[in-house]
């Protein structure tokens, strides 16, 4: 069984149920299946090559969902292109993966470097390229050809970093998507009455909920906008049961709803991930939303729910510093630096195995071999398992900042800041932040006799990196503390800043 088969099976079982609810109108399961089949056939006609890559660069819309499902039905490989990224980042991802087809909003078709892309499709009908709607209409009644790809064949290539240099693309195979679907349905108990609010970008973790929700006859809900007040109103009035959002958005919802009625009658899966939530914030969130708060631990290399902590688990405050227990089809362990398995309470690197893990990194065999050893995916995170099997995170071995649910790799930001004519050297890291979970900070050592303001550096970085990866705070040093090997010692810099020294 392949990921798309879960959807087609549900479409046969629930043809008259609403699959997508949106301001533009509702889409029934049978209508969605018709559009998906027609577009999948059109994609195969444009490029008959099995497994070829198709990029999507768009916001959260009905057509984005249709395009994603059609890529899966055509047995092609999805390349998500986050429209919030800078054009430099998007163009580098396109050049790295070389998709034969790109489906995008008109503004991106006009601004991206798509000269090497064989086929461009406009998702929002403006005449700049082949129209998605026209392709669906022109292939009405068609069905895509199906074969039997290997379970290890790519379903998606998602990026974990690489704003500078070569991006790191995670190859998520069919088996990982099927495993994630089964894990989510089993752990959350999704059913036909579930309504999932698509609040976070489809290019990220939200995409992993599309198939599990539809598989059970549930409904995906799109809003005119995802401002906090709109989301709260949807929680109250549209029978939303489920959503997945970063902690920072939960904090924004609580701030926006202060003093308002806090009745969310249907909400039972308010799932957060991508960053930890402090105990006091957990307490406030449960007071505000009721007993609906849940969390997961996972990585792009092991999609979405390696572990899960359900709402009943949060009733015990002793669990609040945990990220839950391993999901049904996820195997989790802790190893020491030599690779030996540790028992309960032993702190070491978190490793994961099973069909949930990636097939490898796109065009990076050496990096793949470093990360998957004897079948275990080395996450780069440190933690421990208690005697009950609950996983606790301690810190990260890899130098990555998780801000607002997005991964920011310091080397990417440093490589840009170091290009500024006034910067001698930069050191980028994350510090705890009430709003973002972690905020990106940059320590700067200027060249002798040169000057630069935080505003200038932020503008310089934002133009090249986009807003997510641009540091929120800049700290200036006459010289950086260094290790005996001459490397910048970031722990000392962090402590200096925490103590108010900068």
Residue 333 — φ and ψ, nearest 5°? -150, 170
DSSP of 296-355: EEEETTEEEEEEEE-GGGGGSGGGTT---EEPTT-EEEEE-TTS-B--TT--EEEEEEST
pLDDT of residue 255: 87
- Sequence-distant (≥ 6) Cβ neighbours of residue 60 within 8 angstroms: 198, 201, 202, 206, 222, 226
In percent, how much of the chain has pLDDT > 70?
A: 96
Segments in 357-489 forming alpha helices (H):
365-371, 410-417, 454-465
Average confidence score pLDDT of the chain: 92
Task: State the burial class of residue 237 (Cβ atoms within 10 Å of its Cβ: 0-12, 13-18, 19+).
Answer: exposed
pLDDT of residue 440: 95
- Per the CB < 8 A criterion, the answer to whether 14 and 192 are in contact is yes
- Over the stretch 332-348, which tens digit does the pLDDT of each residue have? 999 998 899 999 999 99
Helices 279-289, 247-256: crossing angle, 10 deg rounding:
50
Cα distances (Å, whole numbers) of residue 160 to 77, 211, 466, 476: 17, 22, 15, 29
> Rounded CA gap, 343 and 293, in Å?
29
β pairing state of 325-326 and 27-28: unpaired
- Say whether pLDDT at 398 is over 80: no
pLDDT of residue 242: 98
> Rounded CA gap, 401 and 441, in Å?
10
Q: Which helix (H) or strand (E) holds 379?
A: strand 376-385
- Say whether pLDDT at 164 is over 60: no
pLDDT: which is higher, 185 or 495 = 185
pLDDT band, very low/low/confident/very high, at 167 (cuts 50, 70, 90): low
Q: Does the predicted TM-score (pTM) go above 0.95? A: no
Q: Please report the domains of the chain, with CATH numbers, ordered by start residue.
A: 24-168 (3.40.50.980), 223-396 (3.40.50.12780), 401-498 (3.30.300.30)
- Over the stretch 236-260, which tens digit does the pLDDT of each residue have? 999 999 999 988 789 889 989 987 7
pLDDT of residue 418: 85
């Amino acid at each position: 069984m392949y990921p798309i088969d879960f959807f087609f099976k549900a479409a046969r079982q629930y043809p008259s149920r609403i699959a997508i609810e949106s301001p533009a109108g509702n889409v029934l399961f049978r209508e969605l299946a018709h559009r998906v089949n027609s577009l999948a056939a059109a994609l195969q006609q444009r490029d008959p090559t099995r497994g070829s890559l198709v990029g999507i660069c768009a916001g959260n819309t009905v057509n984005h969902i249709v395009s994603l499902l059609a890529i899966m039905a055509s047995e092609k490989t999805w390349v998500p292109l986050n429209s919030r990224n800078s054009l430099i980042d998007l163009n580098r991802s396109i050049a790295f993966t070389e998709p034969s087809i790109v489906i995008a909003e008109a503004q991106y078709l006009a601004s991206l470097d798509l000269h090497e892309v064989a086929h461009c499709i406009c998702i929002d009908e403006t005449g700049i390229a082949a129209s998605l709607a026209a392709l669906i209409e022109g292939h009405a009644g068609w069905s895509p050809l199906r074969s039997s790809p290997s379970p290890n064949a790519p379903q998606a290539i998602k990026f974990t970093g690489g704003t500078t240099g070569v991006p790191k693309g995670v190859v998520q195979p069919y088996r990982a998507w099927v495993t994630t679907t089964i894990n989510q349905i089993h752990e959350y108990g999704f059913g036909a009455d579930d309504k999932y609010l698509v609040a976070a970008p489809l290019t990220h973790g939200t995409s992993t909920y599309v198939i599990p929700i539809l598989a059970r006859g549930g409904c995906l809900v799109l809003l005119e906008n995802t401002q906090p007040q709109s989301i709260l109103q949807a929680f109250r009035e549209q029978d939303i049961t489920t959503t997945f959002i970063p902690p920072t958005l939960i904090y924004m919802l609580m701030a926006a709803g202060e003093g308002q009625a806090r009745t969310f009658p249907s909400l039972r899966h308010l799932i957060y991930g991508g960053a930890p939530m402090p105990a006091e914030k957990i307490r406030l969130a449960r007071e505000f939303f009721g007993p609906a708060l849940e969390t997961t631990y996972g990585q792009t290399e092991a999609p979405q729910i390696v572990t899960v902590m359900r709402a009943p688990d949060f009733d015990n405050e002793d669990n609040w510093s945990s990220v839950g227990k391993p999901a049904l089809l996820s195997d989790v362990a802790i190893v020491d630096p030599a690779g030996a398995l540790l028992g309960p309470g032993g702190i070491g690197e978190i490793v994961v195995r099973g069909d949930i893990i990636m097939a490898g990194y796109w065009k990076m065999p050496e990096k793949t071999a470093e990360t998957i050893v004897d079948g275990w995916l080395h996450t780069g995170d440190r933690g421990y398992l208690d005697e009950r099997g609950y996983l606790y995170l301690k810190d990260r071995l890899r130098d990555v900042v998780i801000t607002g649910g997005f991964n920011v790799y310091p080397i990417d930001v440093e490589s840009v800041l170091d290009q500024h004519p006034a910067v001698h050297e930069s050191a980028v890291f994350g510090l705890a932040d009430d709003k973002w979970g972690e905020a990106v900070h940059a320590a700067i050592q200027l060249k002798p006799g040169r000057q630069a303001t935080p505003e200038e550096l932020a503008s310089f970085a934002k133009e090249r990196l986009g807003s997510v990866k641009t540091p929120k705070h800049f700290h200036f040093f006459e010289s950086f503390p260094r290790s005996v090997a001459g490397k910048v010692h970031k722990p000392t810099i962090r402590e200096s800043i925490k103590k108010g020294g900068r």
